[in-house]
């Protein structure tokens, strides 16, 4: 696996990463399940604990529901750089795209592709020299029809993640491809009622994609 023993891994993103996490971002003795939420981050953390207990890998969740890349930029110093993690994983872009479709008249909430790219480029450029490893994961919509307007837009934002990962020696996680491998066999609503917020099966698909990209499977 790419992550060395005794490493701290910090995940940041939107509600998919948040998944009901404790605001502190870590478990506590009196509430051990609250720390990393109930989504893919908690599943990755559980996999570390179940299969590599001697590695003593610490997982921090800094996902926040509803956030876009603009919000990440505003809290980057306190939520990402200040904890000084060894690895940082970024999955953002769903709300950047979604707001263009569910609130089309609220253009102040829309994050254009050019802004998304420039903001991520800045965050990645500032962070990569300070960490041992960086993970960049695509945003996704669980929609198999690529001509669907929201799916097409999400693919364009995902392409930015792919490009930045290649340019900055980051691990790339194609979450969209992970769901695309499943949807020929099951309807999207069996994974997420709104095509965005996964159930446990959907989060396990995400966790497997992250672990696979990290060489853990």
pLDDT digits (tens, 9 = 90+) for 108-137: 999 999 999 999 999 999 999 999 999 999
Q: What is the mean pLDDT of the chain?
A: 95
Specify the number of domains making up the chain.
1
Q: How many helices (H) and strands (E) does the chain have?
A: 8, 5
Q: At 35, is the pLDDT very low, low, confident or very high (cuts 50, 70, 90)?
A: confident
Among 147, 161, 150, 156, residue whose Cα is nearest residue 195: 150
> Does residue 97 contact residue 139 with C-beta atoms inside 8 Å?
yes
**Candidates 7, 15, 42, 89; catalytic one:** 15
89 is catalytic: no
15 is catalytic: yes
Structural domain harbouring 105: 8-213
**Candidates 38, 110, 168, 197; catalytic one:** 197
Tens digits of per-residue pLDDT, 76-85?
999 999 999 9
- The pLDDT value given to residue 62: 95
Is 190 part of a structural domain of the chain?
Answer: yes
Is 3 part of a structural domain of the chain?
Answer: no
Is 119 part of a structural domain of the chain?
Answer: yes
Q: Domain holding 150: CATH number?
A: 3.40.50.1110
> Does residue 113 contact residue 160 with C-beta atoms inside 8 Å?
yes
- Say what the alpha-carbon torsion angle 7, 8, 13, 19 is, to the nearest 10 degrees: 110
Tens digits of per-residue pLDDT, 159-191?
999 999 999 999 999 999 999 999 999 999 999
65 is catalytic: no
Is 132 part of a structural domain of the chain?
Answer: yes
**Candidates 102, 122, 125, 194; catalytic one:** 194
What average pLDDT score do residues 2-27 get? 91
Q: Which helix (H) or strand (E) holds 173?
A: strand 171-173
Task: Report the distance separating Cα 67 and Cα 154, nearest Å.
Answer: 16
């Amino acid at each position: 696996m790419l992550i060395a023993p005794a490493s701290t891994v910090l995940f940041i993103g939107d509600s998919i990463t948040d998944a009901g996490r404790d605001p502190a971002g870590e478990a506590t003795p009196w509430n051990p399940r609250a720390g990393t939420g109930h989504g893919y981050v908690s599943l990755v953390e559980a996999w570390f604990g179940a299969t590599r207990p001697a590695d003593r890998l610490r997982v921090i969740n800094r996902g926040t529901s509803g956030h876009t890349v603009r919000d990440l930029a505003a809290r980057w110093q306190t939520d990402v750089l200040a904890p000084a993690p060894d690895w940082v994983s970024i999955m953002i872009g769903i709300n950047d795209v979604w707001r263009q479709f569910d609130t089309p008249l609220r253009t102040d909430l829309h994050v254009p592709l050019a802004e998304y790219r420039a903001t991520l480029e800045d965050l990645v450029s500032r962070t990569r020299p300070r960490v041992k490893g960086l993970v960049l994961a695509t945003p996704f919509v669980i929609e198999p029809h690529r001509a669907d307007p929201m799916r097409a837009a999400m693919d364009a934002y995902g392409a930015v993640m792919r490009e930045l990962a290649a340019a900055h020696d980051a691990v790339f996680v194609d979450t969209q491809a992970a769901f695309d491998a499943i949807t020929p066999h099951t309807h999207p609503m069996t994974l997420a009622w709104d095509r965005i917020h996964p159930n446990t099966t959907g989060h396990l698909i995400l966790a497997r994609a992250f672990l696979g990209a990290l060489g853990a499977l």
